[in-house]
Amino acid sequence: MIIENENVISVSYELTVVDNGEETLVEKTEENNPFVFMLGTGHLLESFEKNLMGLKVGDKFDFVIDYKNGYGERDTQNLAQIPVSAFQDAEGNIDEEMVVVGNMLPMVDSEGNRVNGIVMEVNSEFVTMDFNHPLAEKDLHFAGEVLKIRKATEEELAHGHVHGEGGVHHH
Ligand SMILES: [Zn+2]
């Protein structure tokens, strides 16, 4: 069996990014806790899926996705100045452990979507937040191994996600 659309795949991998010539580990999944996903649901980077197409169990992979095919460029439009009042509680206090430069905070945008932003700057009036994807403008280096391949069940295809090991448990 090879990796193709509508298969459920288990892989172990290491994701590193190269920044100023330095390689940083971003994510590591182990064999005993693999990354399990269904191919072709549109949730993952297309270029990630393309690189795995046709592989078999036991195959190793090692590829780089440049940022243009990854999470794109950082866009200054995704920076926002949010009034400090939005971070204050009823007493006007700000959670100083949360609102710290470099911290990622869960926020809600004007359409009610949940988004994560990184605190860039804090002053007496505004908190500047960066809502760019944390991996924007980074070349992504994936290296790992294919552990399992199986056909998705009818139910998984209908739901658009994996059930069971490494997947959603809601039955
Ligand atoms: Zn489901």
User: In the chain, what is the straight-line distance between the N-terminal and C-terminal CA atoms, in Å?
Assistant: 28
Spacing, Cα 162 to ligand 1 middle (Å) = 7
Spacing, Cα 7 to ligand 1 middle (Å) = 15
Spacing, Cα 89 to ligand 1 middle (Å) = 37
Give the integer Cα–Cα distance in Å for 107 and 12.
Answer: 31
Domain spans of the chain, in order of start: 7-71+135-159, 76-130
Confidence tier at 171 by pLDDT (50, 70, 90)? low
Spacing, Cα 8 to ligand 1 middle (Å) = 13
Spacing, Cα 6 to ligand 1 middle (Å) = 15
**7-71+135-159 CATH:** 3.10.50.40
Find the helix or strand (DSSP H, E) in which 150 lies. Answer: strand 139-151
pLDDT in tens, 57-82: 999 999 999 999 999 999 999 999 99
Spacing, Cα 37 to ligand 1 middle (Å) = 13
Give the integer Cα–Cα distance in Å for 155 and 157.
Answer: 5
Q: Tell me whether the CATH fold assigned to 7-71+135-159 matches the one assigned to 76-130.
A: no
b/e map 124-153, b = 16+ CB within 10 Å: eeebbbbbbbebbbbbbbbebbbbebeebe
The region of weakest confidence among 47-56, 103-112, 152-161 is: 103-112
Confidence tier at 115 by pLDDT (50, 70, 90)? confident
Give the integer Cα–Cα distance in Å for 65 and 139.
Answer: 6
What's the pLDDT at 20? 75
Query: What is the overall mean pLDDT for the chain?
Result: 92
CATH of 76-130 given 3.90.1300.10, 3.40.50.2300, 2.40.10.330, 3.90.79.10: 2.40.10.330
| Of 144, 142, 160, the residue nearest 152 (C-alpha) | 160
Q: For the chain, what percent of residues have pLDDT higher than 90?
A: 71
pLDDT tops 90 at residue 96: no
Spacing, Cα 26 to ligand 1 middle (Å) = 28
H helix intervals, 18-153: 46-52
pTM above 0.85, yes or no: no
One-letter amino acid of 38? M
Spacing, Cα 41 to ligand 1 middle (Å) = 13
pLDDT in tens, 24-43: 999 999 889 999 999 998 88
Spacing, Cα 161 to ligand 1 middle (Å) = 6
